[in-house]
Amino acid sequence: MRGTQGLWKRLGFRYGDDRDLGDGRGGLLPDEAPSIGKLILFAIQQFIVMFPATVLVALLTGFHVSTTIFASGLATLSFIIVTGGKIPLYYGSSFSYIAAIVSLTGAREFGVLAPDALIGEAQFGIILSGLVSIIAGFLISRFGQKTIEKILPPEVTGPIAIVIGLSLAGTAMQGAAANWTVALVTLLATIAASVFLRGFLGQLPVLIGITAGYLLSLALGLVDFGGVAAAAAIQTPHFTLPVPSWAAVAAIMPIAVATIPESTAHLYQIDLYVNKLAERRGEKHYAIADKLGRNLVGDGVGDIVSALLGGPAGTNYGENISTMAVTRVFSVPVLAATAVLAILVSFLGKFAAAINTVPGAVIGGLSVYLFGVIAVQGVGIMVEKKVDLFDNRGLAVIASILIIGLGGSFAFPGGMIPFFGAKLPAIATAAVWGIALNLVLRVMRRKS
């Protein structure tokens, strides 16, 4: 135990007292680290949470799965280094870029790989889109937090978080519908573990829920091990090189502007939950929200690192934030361990295939909870920031973001809104609309 404590101290982290104190004060703050055994279990839990969505993006866009997993881990480590280990967020593949990437790779069938040359063109566009986040981060750091809060107030970031969570509701329910019994057992086991268990087990509700659903799936004969047998024991990720393409830049770079509010909302969410735990424990205030500039730079670096290897564009993962909110484990070392695990798994074909045997109903049941938590976090941002819902300006911004984002996600195939001959991604369009409307109404109010 002393050796573990000494190791974390040399790395600049505290050994965390993660025992349950019985009054909501248990958990791990960003600069705390658990014992090695608990670290591994927490990392596995976070890995399982990010795995389905990260892999799904690769399967939809024609990218290589093992490369995408590797890139996710390395980009997360890069993010942690750039942010000085102060921001507990995990980098995974972003759904916002899917339509733009597919337009370049030509991926039309699920799981069919795109040619390396087309993946390379998409990589080039993603690399330059990463520069957008980096520039935005430096501008925020230069002109201060109050400047960005005028552009991205809680009236914008809150409803965007709600849209992100609720737009995934259909995905969660479709997965659950594969087997309602398995989905309900997974959901109820996760909820019961998060609400009733204490101590260390109370910090593993996601892993417990998945285990319960998986065991039931085994009993019902719903687990297919064919992919495990066919997979190679050791495999090397298929890396590709960027191919210059200004068409790719035109298709992908604008989306980076729209994902900035998403990243901002995630940062505000994690700030809210970390400081609630710190407050309960009488600890120092963690100024995470004040690090928005550094967070965006880290996002941009993550995109560049991922794309240099052949991975898709990414973002801070709401699923992982939800898991941290439920478990109260916000430890940066845990996320670093998750990133290392992702890198290792990308070389272990059978292990990755084994993870992929988790039935869709299990993931669907879990997602009902986690995606809902993402949406609730958006409500939490507006409550914490005391947003006036009776102010017509704020009400107009919030209402239109919600309807454009949710209506566009559910009314049109792929969440792509047909607009004067173009097709606009619903969430990104809602974000851009919210930013623009807020600024226009702010200027008009000053003049009136």
Q: Has residue 414 been placed in a domain? A: no
Residue-number span of the structural domain to which 123 is assigned: 26-387
Contact (CB, 8 A) for 323 and 206: yes
Is 12 part of any domain? no
Mean pLDDT within 136-152: 79
Which pLDDT value is given to residue 343? 95
Does residue 407 lie in a domain region?
A: no
CA angle centred on 138, ends 53 and 430, rounded to 5°: 45
Q: Is the confidence at residue 294, as pLDDT, over 80? A: yes
Lowest model confidence (mean pLDDT) among 2-6, 190-194, 197-201, 251-255: 2-6
Pick the range with the lowest mean pLDDT from 59-68, 85-94, 144-153, 352-361. Answer: 144-153
Two structure tokens written together for 97: 């870029």
pLDDT value for 429? 84
Report pTM.
Answer: 0.75
Residue 22 confidence (pLDDT): 47
Tell me the percentage of the chain whose pLDDT exceeds 90. 35
Distance between the two ends of the chain, CA-based, in angstroms?
A: 65
Mean pLDDT calculated for residue range 193-217: 83
Q: Which two tokens stand for residue 431?
A: 């974000």
- The mean pLDDT value for 154-165 works out to 84
Tokens of 128: 């330059």
Q: Which two tokens stand for residue 66?
A: 């093992």
Phi, psi angle pair for 316, to nearest 5°: -70, 130
Candidates 342, 245, 351, 359; CA nearest to 302 is 342
The total domain count for the chain is 1
Cβ pair 123, 337 in contact under 8 A: no
| Average pLDDT over the chain, rounded to an integer | 85
Instruction: Decide which of 387 and 428 is more confident.
Output: 387
Backbone angles phi, psi at 27, to 5 degrees: 135, -175
Q: Which helix (H) or strand (E) holds 32?
A: strand 32-33
Asked if residue 433 belongs to a domain, the reply is: no
The per-residue pLDDT for range 224-268, each reduced to its tens digit, is 888 888 888 888 999 999 999 888 887 787 677 767 777 888 898
Whether the per-residue pLDDT at 1 is higher than 60: the answer is: no
pLDDT tier at 99, thresholds 50, 70, 90: low
Q: What is the pLDDT of residue 199?
A: 65
Specify the higher pLDDT residue, 343 or 54. 343
Confidence of residue 21 (pLDDT cuts 50, 70, 90): very low
* 399: in domain: no
- Give the SS3 label for residue 383: helix
Degrees (nearest 5) of the Cα angle 351, 62, 372? 70
Predicted confidence band of residue 142 (pLDDT cuts 50, 70, 90) = confident
Burial 144-170, CB ≥16 within 10 A → b, else e: eeeebbebbbbbbbbbbbbbbbbbbbe
The whole-number average pLDDT for the span 422-444 is 86
Whether the per-residue pLDDT at 106 is higher than 80: the answer is: no
In a domain? residue 429:
no
Q: 103 in a domain, yes or no?
A: yes
- What mean pLDDT is predicted for residues 443-447? 78
pLDDT greater than 50 at residue 309: yes
In a domain, 179, yes or no: yes
Mean pLDDT value of segment 350-358: 77
* DSSP β-bridge partners for residue 422: 419
